[in-house]
């Protein structure tokens, strides 16, 4: 007498769950590759803008101290960098930084030949 084997069917939902789980892991790892902005800076706020903080941005705290990647930098080092003529410079001002001080910095940067200056703000509509 022959024995009949019962075949069990795999649920197709398990494959879908595996794919979603792998995508979740991918985005968790990819999201941690970008360095976060300086935590001591509270950004100027705007509404309805699409923007993200670039990793090479220069943050300016409320006292006027310049920082790149969390380390203090001088105005001279920004002007002497090899990409100073071609790349854009992104500034992340603290919301408590006086506008006069920010405008003075931008004026100094433009006088030295840095023409592509972008001021990055925080979107509050989220």
What pLDDT score does 61 carry?
A: 86
Fold assignment, 45-123: Nucleotidyltransferase; domain 5 (3.30.420)
Share of residues in the chain with pLDDT > 70 (%): 68
Is 78 strand, coil or helix?
helix
Task: Determine the Cα–Cα distance for residues 111 and 10; give it in Å rounded to an integer.
Answer: 69
Mean pLDDT over all residues of the chain?
77
Task: Determine the Cα–Cα distance for residues 121 and 19; give it in Å rounded to an integer.
Answer: 36
What pLDDT score does 21 carry?
A: 92
Q: Is the pLDDT of residue 85 over 60?
A: no
Tell whether pTM > 0.85. no
Q: Is the pLDDT of residue 83 over 60?
A: no
The torsion angles phi and psi of 53, rounded to 5 degrees, stand at -85, 120
What pLDDT score does 35 carry?
A: 65
């Amino acid at each position: 007498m022959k024995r009949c084997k019962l075949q069990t069917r795999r649920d197709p939902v398990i494959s879908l769950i595996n794919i979603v789980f792998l995508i979740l892991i991918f985005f968790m790892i990819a999201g941690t590759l970008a360095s976060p902005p300086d935590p001591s800076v509270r950004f100027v706020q705007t509404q309805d803008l699409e923007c993200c903080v670039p990793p090479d941005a220069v943050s300016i705290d409320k006292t006027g101290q310049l920082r790149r990647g969390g380390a203090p930098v001088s105005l001279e080092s920004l002007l002497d960098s090899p990409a100073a003529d071609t790349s854009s410079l992104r500034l992340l001002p603290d919301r408590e930084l006086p506008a006069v001080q920010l405008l003075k910095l931008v004026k100094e940067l433009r006088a030295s030949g840095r023409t592509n200056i972008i001021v990055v703000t925080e979107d509050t509509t989220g």
